[in-house]
């Protein structure tokens, strides 16, 4: 996939959540919520600040991140759904 986000935008591929609860109950796809974590596929150069400098992105390509349930815009690229979101919408990095 060849995509270059602008400014402080980040392209994230959702990572499937577990389909079985801790008690062993299997959750069907129709009842499962969209996962709130994903893998960073691409990052923009950063956000331009008021003084003209650029704030570097806080994530790197390949990192696993957590984000809010309704964060970002879903787009389809090469048959795959990905999210376009701002760097500031990412809550944390999963290590």
Name the β-bridge partners of 80.
77
Kindly state the tokens that stand for 57.
């992105």
DSSP string, 13-40: EE-PPPSB-TTSPBPPTTTPPPPSEEEE
The pLDDT value recorded for residue 77 is 86
Give the whole-angstrom CA distance, residue 63 versus residue 54. Answer: 21
The pLDDT value recorded for residue 1 is 62
The pLDDT value recorded for residue 16 is 73
60 contacts 40 by C-beta, under 8 angstroms: yes
Domain residue ranges of the chain, discontinuous segments joined by +: 9-16+27-94
69 contacts 36 by C-beta, under 8 angstroms: yes
Q: Enumerate residue ranges in the chain where pLDDT < 50.
A: none
Name the β-bridge partners of 48.
54
What architecture is the 9-16+27-94 domain classified under in CATH? Roll (2.30)
């Amino acid at each position: 996939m060849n995509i270059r986000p602008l400014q402080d935008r980040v392209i994230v591929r959702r990572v499937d959540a577990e389909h079985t609860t801790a008690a062993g109950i299997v959750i069907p796809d129709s009842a499962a919520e969209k996962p709130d974590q994903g893998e960073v596929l691409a990052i923009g150069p950063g956000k331009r600040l008021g003084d003209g400098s650029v704030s570097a992105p806080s994530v790197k390509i390949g990192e696993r991140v957590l984000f809010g349930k309704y964060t970002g815009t879903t787009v389809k690229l090469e048959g795959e759904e990905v999210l376009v979101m701002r760097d500031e919408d990412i809550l944390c990095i999963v290590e």
